[in-house]
Structure 1
Amino acid sequence: MYANFSESEQQFREEVRAFLRDNFDAELAARIDSHDGYKAATIEWQKKRYDKGWVAPGWPVEYGGCGWSDTQKYIFDNELAAVGAPDVPPFGLKMVGPVIYTFGNDEQKQRFLPGILSGDTWWCQGYSEPGAGSDLAGLQTRAERDGDDYIINGTKIWTTYAQYADWMFALVRTDNSGKPQQGISFVLIDMSSPGITVSPIISIDGEHHLNEVSFDNVRVPVANRIGEENQGWTYAKALLTHERTALSGIGYCKHTLSRIRSLAAAENNGGQPLLADSDFQARMADIEMELMALEFTELRVLAAVANGGAPGMESSLLKLKGTELQQAVQSLLYDVSGLYGAALPGEADLAALGHDYGYGARREYMFGRACTIYGGSNEVQKNIIAKFGLGL
């Protein structure tokens, strides 16, 4: 589709490469990947892109977007993946930001969008609850009106990076009288508010990504509600299409496949490099072909958005296939690691192979089992595709 870039596009690619050489290196990557330095290093990386004006490619120009063509977005994503540079955290820029500039009022846009762009304000998502995951309409966190405030009580769970967040965007129930999808409102909650408790959940990879967040008579100004009361389901659906598009993980898969190729070329398999094994080559080829097909699907979605549309059923396709490919890539990396996949941090075997080869391969494999569940389980995505794509 983009076999031959125009001269201006080639110049843009060189500009991106120069920016990455000057602003992203192994030291910054290591700090982003660390426990203690994650937030500070990630903010530093976001501010570098913000200062360049390259932090929100998908946003309209009037709200701080880049004004890039689909080809430029494609080039930028590929160059990020080529050097292993992470994207910025999605919760502000790819989730709540588009909801605010689409459905929020002018005061809310002026108040929240600048901090989302600069990285000065960090967000988390308050959707899932102990009794409402893929069936999100079953949420029970209650918001009762008290003058100019809502009083919120309930619990959110699986809340990624709530321990770092300054704000949460959340779905709360403001009316129980109608269908489950009715009576839900979309509110922005200051995480420093009295009555909020964040409890860590240690996931299967041994890391602290997730949290349970409880609300005990938490006061939230009605002015922090996005759009109309009881219409939050409409705004949530718009957000989920953006979230699911972001979950395709194409850049991650490309970068990990590059790592796998290098590792397999060095790994001994019966006196020959593992990369020379025909079965291994077939597995690599299958993943690469499916990844290419997924990438072109994402490009079509980007083109539709650029022409004033919104990601619809296609976002479910991207989420479904993208997360399956992420798991296939993680399984391949884990297989390449062999016995080193059983190593623990600090063990001698890791010194010769790199800190993320054995233990890191297992960690990615373990946590990757969740990617077909979060953001709406893949079973739910198949139902959406069947209904809206196939008319079943």
Structure 2
Amino acid sequence: MTPRLLLLTLLMLPVWANAQPNFRSNTPNDTLVSPKLLPENRVQLRIYAPKASDVTVSGDFPSGFPNQKLTKEPTGVWSLVLGPLSPNVYTYDFTVDGVKTFDPKNPKFKESQNGISNIFELAGKDTDYLAVKNVPHGRVESVWYPSSSLGITRRMHVYTPPGYATLKEKLPVLYLLHGGGDNDASWTTVGKANFILDNLLAEGKIRPMVVVMPAGHVPGTALAMGAGPEQDPFAKDLLTDIIPFVEKNYSVSSQREHRALAGLSMGGIQTMNIALWNPEKFSYVLPLSTGYFPPVLSELEAKYAQVLKNPQINNWKLFWIAMGGDKDIAYQNNKNTMALFDKYGIKYRYTEVPGGHTYLAWRNNLYQFAPLLFQQ
């Protein structure tokens, strides 16, 4: 080696040394599995938090609210075994020393207005309708559109059925609204709407349709639970911006006979506020797990009796009201709302499914009502 080459080699040694990776000690987190499926439909949730003093988990699994405590193992891993559980898709959130914490070992999640929650799935006969199967699959797009009514650009998700690009006929549209706290991605992350529709299409049980899932929360406003569209700017956004955007950019029909509006909880209130005040724009109206609060019912009857008397409401092909059983937190409000509809002669169909005020019920609702749409 020449003196010059030796000098360059010596000068480069610190650089090589600094380029070496910083090796660390192995921890239990390296091989941790969460969630872990156990026999008899039990599920173990685990998180590595050696310095934590309190870890809990909440979710829509049985006894998941307000929370359950995890037990700390000597290794610093906290764990809890749930179940046995009925086959379904469940959401959960860890809280570590008072801070909501995502399970870093589980990449499956539900997106919502204020963050993300983890998801785990137990497959079974009762959830076959939402399983990912070897069938033709539609496409879910994240779409940005200008909202002139709100003065901002907003996001929505749009499902187009398999073969959409080659279809010659204009398709009907279902506008599918989420509930309070969720967002426009919720119906396809935890709601599994696209897989439910794919499976129904493969079985020949529904017509091909476009499904539009907008963001129901409007910046700077509270939950939309009042009477009438004037109390919720989203209503104007849907009618003046979203629907025209969809009809311009997608191969869909603009006829009322080919337009459906459905929504859960807050989205159910929005569904009723938009459809009752604009009955000529829709033919299928489907509020889920919802109902006006007593003061709002009084306001509705005192100020908007003429809205309830509009005969076009009874021209809808389907007014379908669903609840998640008597454990649904909106159960009494719904009963009161249906009593008001009865008083004004508004016709509707009513159904209950188990699941309370969660997607355990709402996924089932979509599976039940989708075959009823656009068949006539």
TM-score (norm 1): 0.22
User: Which structure dedicates a bigger proportion of its chain to strand?
Assistant: 2
TM-score (norm 2): 0.22
Instruction: Point out the structure with max Rg over C-alpha.
Output: 2
User: Which structure dedicates a bigger proportion of its chain to helix?
Assistant: 1
